[in-house]
Amino acid sequence: MISDNTLDQASGLRNMSIAKKTKVVAVTGGKGGVGKTSVSLNTAIALAQSGQNVLVLDADLGLANCDVMLGLRVHKNLSHVLSGEAELDDILVEGPHGIKIVPATSGSIDMVELSPAQHAGLIRAFSEMKTPVDVFIVDTAAGISDMVLSFSRASHEVLVVVCDEPTSITDAYALIKVLNRDHGVSKFKVVANMVRTIKEGQDLFKKLTLVTDRFLEVNLELTAIIPFDDNLRKAVRRQRAIVDAFPRSPSAVAFKTLAAKINKWPAPSHASGNLEFFLEQLVN
Ligand SMILES: Nc1ncnc2c1ncn2[C@@H]1O[C@H](COP(=O)(O)OP(=O)(O)OP(=O)(O)O)[C@@H](O)[C@H]1O
Ligand 1 close to Cβ of residue 201 (< 6 A): no
What is residue 17's predicted lDDT score, i.e. its pLDDT? 43
Binding positions are 31-38
Neighbours of 58 (CB within 10 A): 29
Burial of 6 (0-12, 13-18, 19+ CB in 10 A): exposed
User: Which is nearest to 164 in space by CA: 257, 100, 231, 227?
Assistant: 227
pTM (two decimals):
0.91
Binding positions for ATP are 31-38
Query: Mapping DSSP to helix (H, G, I), strand (E, B) and coil, where does residue 114 land?
Result: coil
User: Which is nearest to 272 in space by CA: 167, 164, 166, 187?
Assistant: 187
* Atom of ligand 1 minimally distant from the CA of 251: 1
Q: How far is the CA of 179 from the centre of ligand 1 (A)?
A: 23
Q: How far is the CA of 232 from the centre of ligand 1 (A)?
A: 9
Ligand 1 close to Cβ of residue 32 (< 6 A): yes
ipTM of this complex > 0.95? yes
Q: How far is the CA of 279 from the centre of ligand 1 (A)?
A: 31
Q: How far is the CA of 13 from the centre of ligand 1 (A)?
A: 44
- Ligand 1: residue of 31, 34, 38, 175 to mutate (most ligand atoms within 8 A of CB) is 38
Nearest CA to ligand 1 atom 10: 35
Ligand 1 close to Cβ of residue 47 (< 6 A): no
The domain 20-267: what is its CATH number?
A: 3.40.50.300
Q: Which are the contacts of 224, defined by CB distance < 8 A and separation ≥ 6?
A: 191, 192, 254, 255, 257, 258, 261
Which residue type sits at 267? A
Q: How many angstroms separate the CA atoms of 42 and 40, rounded? A: 6
What is residue 49's predicted lDDT score, i.e. its pLDDT? 97
Ranges in the chain, pLDDT < 70: 1-19, 61-64, 105-112, 284
Phi, psi of 190 (to 5 degrees): -95, 135
Element spanning 92, H or E = none
Going from N- to C-terminal start, the domains of the chain cover: 20-267
What is residue 272's predicted lDDT score, i.e. its pLDDT? 79
